[in-house]
Amino acid sequence: MESIPERVFDKLAEKNIKPSFHRIKVLEYLMVNKNHPTVEQIYSSLKKLFPTLSKATIYNSLNLFVEKGLVQPITIEETEIRYDSTVESHGHFKCECCRKIYDFGIDIDSIPSSGLDNFIIYSKEIYYRGICRNCADVKSSQRS
Amino acid sequence: MESIPERVFDKLAEKNIKPSFHRIKVLEYLMVNKNHPTVEQIYSSLKKLFPTLSKATIYNSLNLFVEKGLVQPITIEETEIRYDSTVESHGHFKCECCRKIYDFGIDIDSIPSSGLDNFIIYSKEIYYRGICRNCADVKSSQRS
DNA sequence: GTTTGTATTTATAACCGTTATAAATTTATA
DNA sequence: TATAAATTTATAACGGTTATAAATACAAAC
């Protein structure tokens, strides 16, 4: 099993992205923090380690990663984009109560669809919204 | 078969939304124009008919409709929200070439998922991205 | 028909995530 | 070391959305 720093280098090399210091740190952050962080979250975390960091660098890096298919943007929020370094098939669930975004298992490619004959499909995203188990538990215990 | 004006009234009544003049016009617009319009598109169209219309009214009406489950917001675009008066199960495909958003048939509820035990699910959205048939045709004919 | 209170609409400022721009810095190449 | 190219920084600008307060429309009570 490769370590994360090793996998960061491999992923960047695989997509022909020059492994600059900041790009490495941004991708590493995404691979360690699987909680679908926003630009602001990535920026404020890395800023503590590297005080000269600019927010534009986060945007530059992420936009490059998305363009190259290394990272998936999650548009489940209306206000800001979240990012996920896992591009394999899975869904995202947003709890309307605690606002947390959960991954869940789903095999998107096994789902039959109609009306897309001769369409070329690059990516598929599945978003569910509702109340997560934790919040549902709290609510039901409050009720009793 | 009910006419659209009749269905507009029924839908509003069903959700206990007072049928003000502007709300009727906004919902009617969404039910006639099934092309997932943006706020700007709705506003500029209705503005021609009712010159005193304010854009805030469009936002107010749409936010109310979404809150009441009458209309579905589509967040497939990174920059702006689109709206769909069809809340029944279907997917949205965005062409990266012509930017058009297509509906397609898919039975979301038949798809097995894992990791959401005891989660309460309110809504499901499926977004595909790629190249639509029209744009794919143009590209392949250019190539030859 | 007034009067009074409430809901809706209008107009506009403010907010905030993102993009654009240009200067500064770093990195690569010769 | 000199030159060119790429990256990062700092900040202004952009644009979709929300917030605010005034104006208007609507409803109920008298």
A65-81 pLDDT tens trace: 999 999 999 999 889 99
Residue A81 within a domain:
no
Give the Å distances, CA to CA, from A22 to A43, A44, A47, A48, B35. 11, 14, 11, 14, 41
Residue A80 within a domain:
no
Residue A45 within a domain:
yes
Cα separation of A138 and B100, whole Å? 42
The pLDDT assigned to A109 comes to: 87
The pLDDT assigned to A81 comes to: 96
Residue A111 within a domain:
yes
Domains of chain B: total: 2
The pLDDT assigned to A126 comes to: 95
Residues B30 and B48 in one domain: yes
The 3-state DSSP class for residue A83 equals: strand
Dihedral sign computed on CA atoms, order A41, A43, A46, A49:
negative
Residues 6+ apart with CB under 8 A from A68: A15, A16, A17
Residues A68 and A131 in one domain: no
Residues B12 and B37 in one domain: yes
- Residue finishing a domain among A29, A46, A75: A75
The radius of gyration computed from the CA coordinates of chain B, to the nearest angstrom, equals: 18
Cα separation of B49 and A124, whole Å? 39
Residues A69 and A105 in one domain: no
Percent of chain A having pLDDT more than 70? 97
The pLDDT assigned to A143 comes to: 57
Q: What is the per-residue pLDDT across B14-47, written as a single tens digit (0 to 9) for each?
A: 999 999 999 999 999 999 999 999 999 999 999 9
Residues B72 and B130 in one domain: no
Q: If phi over 0 gives left and psi between -120 and 50 gives alpha, with beta otherwise, what is residue A69?
A: left
Which nucleotide has the shortest C1'-to-CA distance from A79?
Answer: C17
Residues A21 and A70 in one domain: yes
Query: Is strand C within 7 Å of residue B128 (CB)?
Result: no
Within a 13 Å sphere around the CA of A100, how many CA atoms are in the beta-carbon half?
12
- Residue finishing a domain among A75, A106, A131: A75
A74: β partners: A82
Domain holding A106, by residue range, is 91-143
The pLDDT assigned to A5 comes to: 80
Q: Which residues of A lie closer than 8 Å to B, measured between beta carbons?
A: 73, 75-78, 81, 91, 93, 96, 102-107, 110-133, 136-137
What are B120's two structure tokens? Answer: 């309460």
Q: What is the per-residue pLDDT across B72-82, written as a single tens digit (0 to 9) for each?
A: 999 998 899 99
What are B118's two structure tokens? Answer: 């005891």
In which residue are the tokens 């004919």 written? Answer: B141
Residues B100 and B138 in one domain: yes
Residues B62 and B100 in one domain: no
Q: What is the per-residue pLDDT across A99-108, written as a single tens digit (0 to 9) for each?
A: 999 999 999 8
Mean pLDDT of A81-94: 93
Residue A86 within a domain:
no
Residues B14 and B38 in one domain: yes
Residues A13 and A40 in one domain: yes
Residues A67 and A13 in one domain: yes
Residue A82 within a domain:
no
| Span CA (A125) to C1' (C25), Å | 39
Residue B5 has pLDDT above 70, yes or no: yes
- Residue finishing a domain among B61, B84, B107: B84
Residue A84 within a domain:
no
List the CATH number of the domain containing B71.
Answer: 1.10.10.10
Q: What is the per-residue pLDDT across B108-135, written as a single tens digit (0 to 9) for each?
A: 888 889 999 999 999 999 999 999 999 9
- Report DSSP state, residue A108: G
The pLDDT assigned to B127 comes to: 96
Which bases of strand D have any atom within 7 Å of the beta carbon of a protein residue? 6-11, 15-20, 26
Residues A136 and A102 in one domain: yes
List the CATH number of the domain containing B117.
Answer: 3.30.1490
- Report DSSP state, residue B119: P
Residue A85 within a domain:
no
